[in-house]
Amino acid sequence: MSWDTIITFMRVSSLSGSAMALAFLQSPTSAKAEEEPILSLSTDSAFHFEVLVSLGEALYGGSDLAPVLGAAKNITPGDFESFSQAFQQLAYKTKDQAQDEEANYDPVNVGETWFSAATYFRRADFYLHNNWTNPLINTLWDEQTKAFDKGLSSLPIPGKRLQIPADNFTVEAIWYEPIPHLYKNQTSKRPTLILGNGYDGAQEDLYHTVVVAALARGWNCLTYEGPGHPTVRRKQNLGFIPDWERVVTPLVDYLLKDRSNVVDKDKLALFGFSFGGYLAARAAAFEPRISAVVLDGGVWDSFEAFSPNLSPELKELFDAGNKEAFDEAGRGLLDNPLVPSQARWGLAQGMWAFNTQSPFNFLQATKKYAVKDFITQIKVPVFVADAESEGFFSGQPQMVKDALGDLATLYTFKGAEGYHCQAGAFSSLNRVMFGWLNKVLPK
């Protein structure tokens, strides 16, 4: 989720060899508990954030608080293996519980338990992408998918997995419909959210961050994954592509054709989380049938956000196109336990999601993920979220807002609600976002 990782990567890269080792020997995980706006969940700031994400999903049935805090207690700061182990243990234990629940069938029990197991399997996978041949990358994901599907089928109106063909790949999606609304006197056609994640999140996570809240408000939801996203990356071996309308346009076609009986074509909102703030902006610029856009957060230029943080030496290697030397320096960081977790993970995840073994090629690829050439082609209202503890995109949500002028509303989440993507404060996110959507969409 977090792009601040890249900053750290760049700063770390400015130290080399023994200087780097020395710099991190005493404080490998840069504990700054007193600087966090909430109670610290790990002295490793990356783990603190990831545990908070898992806790946050409890609100919408994706986890349970004490079990997550119990797993967190067994995680060693800086140790990816221990993070994975702690969540694997919790995941398999929860899976056993879910199987027991099935014996005395209660759909609510069964659904909650399987959904939690699925979340824990996703967490167990999170730090494993630095080694592509690790079989757990696929086995844990298969477990999460099967567990999540059990959860989906236990819903009063089961979520439906879809494979939607795009030009030369397939979009993975899940369609959700709300229970006919209790307090709104709803006509048969409803507003619909199309939701995509970013650098690392799964469409399954979106169910426990926004979809449950949207269904409660009477919205249809279509979550999706395109190239670079977890399941498409695994099943189709595809990394991110910049021209994201190739992913979203087939989804809009699907909604307006196959779901036209329940989809109000004038209330079609597109949501992008994290790096998905770039993806959604790009798609909306080239897909005029979208009625409103939510960018959480606003991404102006992915490469510009971190290139100033390259050390002079690395910048020189990069600008000179010295791929070999740059790759060597980058790869050296991946397995070095003295490098902060955030930095190691950010680089490993970027290489994996962009489908390249080369740090140089990964950075080069991010140059294509900038909105300045097309952002003004968006002609519908845009909600741009900023977050006080964001760090990485600092200044960029404002640039997106400024380019869009009166079409855009910029909202900054602050204090304890101000983590990247409002981790742990998804209720706040949803209240603010749906308040805005109610205002801008036709009555």
Ligand X SMILES: *[C@@H]1O[C@H](CO)[C@@H](O)[C@H](O)[C@H]1NC(C)=O
Residue 264 near residue 191 (C-beta atoms within 8 A): yes
Which residue is associated with the tokens 């999606």?
Answer: 173
Q: Which stretch binds ligand X (CB under 6 A): 127-135, 272-280, 299-307, 356-364?
A: 127-135
Our CB check for ligand X shows the closer of 167 and 406 to be: 167
In the complex, the smallest distance separating the C-beta of residue 131 from ligand X, rounded to whole angstroms, is 4
Q: Which stretch binds ligand X (CB under 6 A): 6-14, 53-61, 69-77, 130-138?
A: 130-138
In the complex, the smallest distance separating the C-beta of residue 91 from ligand X, rounded to whole angstroms, is 19
Q: How far are the Cα atoms of 1, 6, 84, 234 from residue 129, in angstroms, in the given order?
A: 14, 16, 11, 11
Our CB check for ligand X shows the closer of 155 and 232 to be: 232
In the complex, the smallest distance separating the C-beta of residue 337 from ligand X, rounded to whole angstroms, is 13
Ramachandran angles phi, psi of 185, nearest 5°: -85, 85
In the complex, the smallest distance separating the C-beta of residue 133 from ligand X, rounded to whole angstroms, is 5
In the complex, the smallest distance separating the C-beta of residue 349 from ligand X, rounded to whole angstroms, is 16
In the complex, the smallest distance separating the C-beta of residue 332 from ligand X, rounded to whole angstroms, is 12
Relative to beta strand 220-225, strand 190-196 is parallel
Our CB check for ligand X shows the closer of 131 and 138 to be: 131
Residue 155 tokens, joined: 């819903």
Our CB check for ligand X shows the closer of 166 and 221 to be: 166
Q: Is 398 in the site for ligand X (CB under 6 A)?
A: no
DSSP notation for 12-56: HHTS-HHHHHHHHHS-TT---GGGSSS--S-SSHHHHHHHHHHHH
In the complex, the smallest distance separating the C-beta of residue 166 from ligand X, rounded to whole angstroms, is 9
Q: Is 134 in the site for ligand X (CB under 6 A)?
A: yes
As a whole number of angstroms, the distance between CA 180 and CA 213 comes to: 15
As a whole number of angstroms, the distance between CA 131 and CA 338 comes to: 18
Our CB check for ligand X shows the closer of 170 and 203 to be: 170
Q: Is 133 in the site for ligand X (CB under 6 A)?
A: yes
Number of residues that bind ligand X (CB under 6 A): 6
From first CA to last CA, the distance across the chain in angstroms is 34
Closest listed residue to residue 223, CA positions, set 238, 246, 206, 209? 206
As a whole number of angstroms, the distance between CA 158 and CA 175 comes to: 9
Our CB check for ligand X shows the closer of 185 and 188 to be: 185
Q: Is 185 in the site for ligand X (CB under 6 A)?
A: yes
Q: SS3 for 281-329, per residue?
A: HHHHHHCCCCCEEEEECCCCEHHHHHHHHCCHHHHHHHHCCCHHHHHHH
Q: Which stretch binds ligand X (CB under 6 A): 128-136, 203-211, 281-289, 384-392?
A: 128-136
Q: Which stretch binds ligand X (CB under 6 A): 57-65, 126-134, 379-387, 406-414?
A: 126-134
- DSSP lists the bridge partners of residue 236 as none
CA atoms 260, 264, 268, 269: torsion sign: negative
Q: Is 131 in the site for ligand X (CB under 6 A)?
A: yes
Using CB atoms within 10 Å of the CB of residue 76, give its burial: 0 to 12 exposed, 13 to 18 middle, 19+ buried. Answer: middle
Q: Is 188 in the site for ligand X (CB under 6 A)?
A: no
- DSSP lists the bridge partners of residue 172 as 163, 225
In the complex, the smallest distance separating the C-beta of residue 247 from ligand X, rounded to whole angstroms, is 12
Our CB check for ligand X shows the closer of 180 and 435 to be: 180
Q: Which stretch binds ligand X (CB under 6 A): 120-128, 131-139, 140-148, 174-182?
A: 131-139
Q: Is 168 in the site for ligand X (CB under 6 A)?
A: yes
Footprint of ligand X (CB under 6 A): 131, 133-134, 167-168, 185
